[in-house]
Amino acid sequence: MREVTRNHLTLGSGPVKVAVPLLGKNREELFAELRLLPDASADLIEWRIDCLSPFPTETEFLALAREVKRELGTLPLLITFRSSSEGGKLPLDAVNYAGLQLRLAEEKIPDLLDVELFSGLKEPASHIAALKAHGIPVIASRHFFSETPPAEVLRETLTALRDSGADIPKLAVMTKSTEDLLTLLAFSAEWRRNADRPFVLIGMGPHGVLSRISSAEFGSCLSFGALRESSAPGQLPARELKRILSLLSEYPVPDATEPRK
């Protein structure tokens, strides 16, 4: 499996990494969150820029982005604009989505960028290629906030995310029952067997919590934990998530594909 490495972080091998979202509405709230990060055990920071209110001008935003990046030091930064159609705070057309991402990539501010593949980009594969040309790895994402689709839809969606050229396909679904969770986990185990790159599969809601802590067994390279408030239903506090994942890594499940000795 190919890996994605940014600073000290490697996705695609080793323990499951914990991403912590920043959700501040303005500079003051953002820096209050940043001061809490030492206690969060974060491996990666996801800055949810759709939470900014009101959304700043491009010049103001880029200046703020540079500040956030400096404050994080070597802690890798994923910048995400989550649209309202996929559970975010603003519609995609509230900003020049593609243009803003390109400016961020040109200035090499983020370590990774999230691209919503199904939210209206005219040529998403070309856009992803342009971001990657600046040396920025891309997470291509899709969120189903109302359901867990059947396995064939999960397969079609994750295949499209992978085939877009993204470095990491990410798919999150709403799990409303134990049956939904089993559908997601069974599909994740199947996808893991032939995955050629890191991926993320998440079950949202109370029934999806198990998917967030069983990532190592079912293949996801990232799990998302809350700093103060959750950015998606079912997120555990980041510090507790890290503790659980660390505990589970001490008792690894043998790889069923390896021959017994």
Residues 6+ apart with CB under 8 A from 132: 138, 165, 167
To which residue do tokens 């243009």 refer? 99
State in Å, rounded, how far the first CA of the chain is from the last one: 24
Look at the chain and count its residues: 261
* Residues labelled as active-site residues: 143, 170
**Cα 231 to Cα 215: distance, rounded to the nearest angstrom:** 18
